[in-house]
Chains A and B, each alone.
Chain A
């Protein structure tokens, strides 16, 4: 077959079109925030920054470049990286045993495919009996495969999947084992980062509490077999 080189020219034409259009299209797009107005990407105190997010609308043809790290992709709420522990409280409040939603039931550790969750159940200091609280809770983030099964099966809404993907560190021996203080996030923060899930869970909890109130007023107070768990769920508020 003879090659005349027309296709080479056509290919160059296609590339040139892309090149020109990359300057023309998306000009109406809002400018990315200036560095000073961006939230600090520094982590700490369970403060996970979502960043000033941009997302390509489907109506905009082609693809635009996200100028990371000045801009970053707005992540959908279900986006999952490393799990975190939710405790009842506001930002800045310390994690106390009472506020901790986790009951050390171990379902997350049992369902974890790479077995990266390690839990030590707390013991009562006086009697030595085990308590439904964790005294240690660590996740080996080198091993975590970000699957989200722990969050999916937690009956107490205590473990959720975080959005923070900027996790690189200079060493792995100590900083890649996330312990309980590192994993703990207050409900206030969780409600901001996961508004839809938060609203759904609150509605469910309210419904369960209402049901329980009705059951308490009912003439026969026999506890249902599932009563223990409902108490755990409803009692968090």
Chain B
């Protein structure tokens, strides 16, 4: 402790190896938007504010916004509106098509009614996001009932510009916690009553609300692709040569990175990021430890700020955003089809599944009829993805338990061959980019079916049995995993967990059954669940799901019909009819949803990804409290997060 205090008090400049002379020439990078020379910040600020720092000034005319959609007084939800009006009061809700437009003042009361009314029981908040319209911000939520199988109910709240505020729904659906923080971070909508409203993906010293339509990102060129500099007179130019300051990032007035301290002093690490700090005023046993961002257990760049008392966890805060690239902003600059390769890069283990979700969401708007053969190919690809993702999850859970890499590599042996299949069909092992609106990109090559059939019939069952035989009764695995990270069914629903995490807590909910998309209603398969809700249960559910996937694969490979693989002509400049849709698929990690709004042009007006990895982290603290530090690693491993999808 004494040593730690000495280390904490030291400055970088007092270190023996610190060369003050070198400092004058070589910039000292600090943590920031990019690596920024801190001495140039005043200069950059002046330049970005006055607009003189760039060779190409920011255009005055901002991307056009669609007008806020009108309220239709008589929608398809008349009964529901009447029911809510009777309970909460007149004027609380209006129907807008299939959605409910809720008056912000009564939002919490309406939400509570929707959740608690026995005939409704909308207990699960699947998705929460927001849209920047011309005259207002709209917060859009999608709620479902885990007991019923139906389409999600869309809820909308409107917040006026320029200072948007709406009440927080975290008291009704705790799963709104991270999503509201994300909306605040990305669009600057404040949620009154949120317990911990602060930036989640961006860093605290960041200025601006990136997903607002008037925010222009670094290296901004034009409102949408394609950029006119590329064609007809496309002399190559590097992005950094185009913009003098290399980025358009603005710094809040008065913000100084050297004196800046993170806003949450309570558990903040010391300013020099030494890693471990002794909390002031506490007895000597309470420590704040940073697990990550560079830590093998986090499977990427992810940080857990853990408060420990001895070896026991008393508090944990997941900190993310290290790999944030504003996928959604990129998506809104892209033409519709360009988003397929970008979705590959969300959860890069399951790119086929990501493609699937996006295709489903957009096809709801275009109404494309997918040919039979393409539907079967889609299901085959999605189920192979599930097998390899779960094999990966189980293998790396063992890694997290301390069996370094040997069992993990044994577990992902078969994944190689599945990737070979993806490669021969799509041309790439991981970044498949295989789905298209109305079908798939290319037909299966002739060698695909024999290999896929051999895998499904012989190799994969054998591999799964082997995992089962080696692990299920393994005394070390059971000792480390049973009773660790228990998530009760109520908490699992309330916190909007999804996929194997939800089902391991005993909730039989699977999008493939609840709202069958594609042709999942044709296949016979079970939804495996477990009751314990611990790390071991999640392992069991994943193992069982791999077997169910093989059942689907066997049926799909047998029934695979011939014919077309894509409906109609392939369009590279597709225009999507105006409207909005929330398309969701059961990805290996859980419910993957895409909320897209089209204004009838060739670019999405709004493109949002409901990522299961991100949402499952909402409940991480609750699962970890009271356990040992080593168990946190196992619990995080059992959530099976992929940072490409968490940070987006």
A78 and B56 alpha carbons, distance in the complex (Å)? 40
Contact A7 B424 (CB under 8 A): no
Contact A58 B425 (CB under 8 A): no
B425 / chain A contacts, CB cutoff of 8 Å: 78
Contact A149 B234 (CB under 8 A): no
Stretch with Cβ within 8 A of B (4 or more), from A87-95, A102-110, A227-235: A102-110
Contact B226 A56 (CB under 8 A): no
A1 / chain B contacts, CB cutoff of 8 Å: 475, 478-479
Contact A110 B573 (CB under 8 A): yes
A145 / chain B contacts, CB cutoff of 8 Å: 341, 431
In the complex, which residue of chain A has the Cβ closest to the Cβ of B429? Answer: A79
Closest beta carbon of chain A to B345's beta carbon, Å: 8
Interface 1/0s, chain A 87-130, versus B by CB < 8 A? 00000000000000000101101111101011111000000001
Out of A3, A61, A115, which one reaches B226, CB within 8 Å? Answer: A115
A153 and B335 alpha carbons, distance in the complex (Å)? 14
Cβ of B416 within 8 Å of any chain A Cβ, yes or no, is yes
A113 / chain B contacts, CB cutoff of 8 Å: 225, 334, 338-339, 341-342
Contact B474 A7 (CB under 8 A): yes
B417 / chain A contacts, CB cutoff of 8 Å: 56, 58
Contact B335 A61 (CB under 8 A): no
Closest beta carbon of chain B to A145's beta carbon, Å: 6
Contact B572 A153 (CB under 8 A): yes
Q: Chain B: interface residue count, which band? A: 35 or more
Contact A146 B431 (CB under 8 A): yes
Contact A147 B431 (CB under 8 A): yes
B450 / chain A contacts, CB cutoff of 8 Å: 58
Closest beta carbon of chain B to A212's beta carbon, Å: 20
B459 / chain A contacts, CB cutoff of 8 Å: 58, 61
Report B392-438 residues with CB < 8 Å from chain A CB.
Answer: 403, 406-407, 410, 413, 416-417, 420, 423-428, 431, 433
Interface 1/0s, chain B 123-160, versus A by CB < 8 A? 00000000000000000000000000000000000000
Cβ of B235 within 8 Å of any chain A Cβ, yes or no, is yes
Contact A58 B451 (CB under 8 A): yes
How many A-B contacts are there with CB distance less than 8 Å? 139
Cβ of B230 within 8 Å of any chain A Cβ, yes or no, is yes
Contact B475 A6 (CB under 8 A): yes
Contact A78 B424 (CB under 8 A): yes
B17 / chain A contacts, CB cutoff of 8 Å: none
Contact B410 A78 (CB under 8 A): no
Cβ of B18 within 8 Å of any chain A Cβ, yes or no, is no
Closest beta carbon of chain B to A84's beta carbon, Å: 14
A120 and B233 alpha carbons, distance in the complex (Å)? 4
Contact B476 A3 (CB under 8 A): yes
Contact B426 A110 (CB under 8 A): no
Report B302-338 residues with CB < 8 Å from chain A CB.
Answer: 334-335, 337-338
A59 / chain B contacts, CB cutoff of 8 Å: 454
Interface 1/0s, chain A 50-73, versus B by CB < 8 A? 000001101101110000000000
Out of B226, B427, B431, which one reaches A110, CB within 8 Å? Answer: B226
Contact A161 B227 (CB under 8 A): no
Cβ of B109 within 8 Å of any chain A Cβ, yes or no, is no
Contact A107 B572 (CB under 8 A): yes
A117 and B338 alpha carbons, distance in the complex (Å)? 14
A10 / chain B contacts, CB cutoff of 8 Å: 470, 474
Contact A148 B433 (CB under 8 A): yes
Closest beta carbon of chain B to A95's beta carbon, Å: 18
Out of B232, B410, B478, which one reaches A106, CB within 8 Å? Answer: B232
Contact B478 A149 (CB under 8 A): no
Contact B423 A117 (CB under 8 A): no
Closest beta carbon of chain B to A148's beta carbon, Å: 6
A77 / chain B contacts, CB cutoff of 8 Å: 445
A56 / chain B contacts, CB cutoff of 8 Å: 416-417, 420
Out of A8, A109, A130, which one reaches B230, CB within 8 Å? Answer: A109
B470 / chain A contacts, CB cutoff of 8 Å: 10-11, 14
A14 and B466 alpha carbons, distance in the complex (Å)? 10
Out of A8, A63, A75, A147, which one reaches B340, CB within 8 Å? Answer: A147
Whether A146 touches B428, Cβ cut-off 8 Å, given contacts A110-B573, A115-B227, is yes
Report B211-252 residues with CB < 8 Å from chain A CB.
Answer: 225-227, 229-236, 238
Closest beta carbon of chain A to B474's beta carbon, Å: 5
A65 and B451 alpha carbons, distance in the complex (Å)? 19
A18 and B406 alpha carbons, distance in the complex (Å)? 10
A121 / chain B contacts, CB cutoff of 8 Å: 231-233
Contact B235 A78 (CB under 8 A): no
Closest beta carbon of chain A to B413's beta carbon, Å: 5
Whether A109 touches B226, Cβ cut-off 8 Å, given contacts A63-B416, A76-B424, A153-B570, is yes
B455 / chain A contacts, CB cutoff of 8 Å: 58
Cβ of B557 within 8 Å of any chain A Cβ, yes or no, is no
Contact A109 B231 (CB under 8 A): yes
Report A170-206 residues with CB < 8 Å from chain B CB.
Answer: 177, 196
Cβ of B46 within 8 Å of any chain A Cβ, yes or no, is no
Interface 1/0s, chain B 536-558, versus A by CB < 8 A? 00000000000000000000000
A7 and B339 alpha carbons, distance in the complex (Å)? 47
Contact B427 A79 (CB under 8 A): yes
B416 / chain A contacts, CB cutoff of 8 Å: 56, 63
Cβ of B442 within 8 Å of any chain A Cβ, yes or no, is yes
Contact A115 B410 (CB under 8 A): no
Contact A118 B475 (CB under 8 A): no
Q: Which of A15, A107, A152 has the most CB of B within 10 A?
A: A152
A198 and B344 alpha carbons, distance in the complex (Å)? 28
Contact A4 B475 (CB under 8 A): yes
A148 / chain B contacts, CB cutoff of 8 Å: 427-428, 433, 441
A78 / chain B contacts, CB cutoff of 8 Å: 423-427, 442, 445
A224 and B338 alpha carbons, distance in the complex (Å)? 31
A153 and B413 alpha carbons, distance in the complex (Å)? 35
A196 and B337 alpha carbons, distance in the complex (Å)? 26
Closest beta carbon of chain B to A140's beta carbon, Å: 6
A10 and B442 alpha carbons, distance in the complex (Å)? 45
Closest beta carbon of chain A to B219's beta carbon, Å: 11
Cβ of A236 within 8 Å of any chain B Cβ, yes or no, is no
Cβ of A80 within 8 Å of any chain B Cβ, yes or no, is yes
Closest beta carbon of chain A to B506's beta carbon, Å: 23
B407 / chain A contacts, CB cutoff of 8 Å: 11
B340 / chain A contacts, CB cutoff of 8 Å: 147
Contact B427 A76 (CB under 8 A): yes
Closest beta carbon of chain B to A50's beta carbon, Å: 14
A115 and B342 alpha carbons, distance in the complex (Å)? 13
Contact A80 B427 (CB under 8 A): yes
A107 / chain B contacts, CB cutoff of 8 Å: 572
Contact A58 B227 (CB under 8 A): no
A66 and B426 alpha carbons, distance in the complex (Å)? 22
Residue pairs across A and B with Cβ atoms less than 8 A apart, 10 shown, are A6-B475, A7-B475, A14-B470, A56-B417, A58-B417, A77-B445, A106-B231, A111-B573, A115-B230, A149-B341
**12 extra interface residue pairs, beta carbon distance < 8 Å, beyond A55-B420, A76-B445, A104-B232:** A3-B475, A63-B413, A79-B423, A109-B231, A109-B234, A113-B339, A113-B342, A115-B225, A121-B231, A140-B238, A145-B431, A153-B570
User: Top 10 A-B pairs ranked by shortest CB distance?
Assistant: A118-B234, A147-B341, A113-B338, A78-B427, A106-B231, A80-B427, A76-B424, A110-B226, A111-B572, A153-B572
Binding site for B on A (CB under 8 A): 1, 3-4, 6-8, 10-11, 14-15, 18, 55-56, 58-59, 61-63, 75-80, 104, 106-107, 109-113, 115, 117-121, 130, 136, 138, 140, 145-149, 152-153, 161, 177, 196
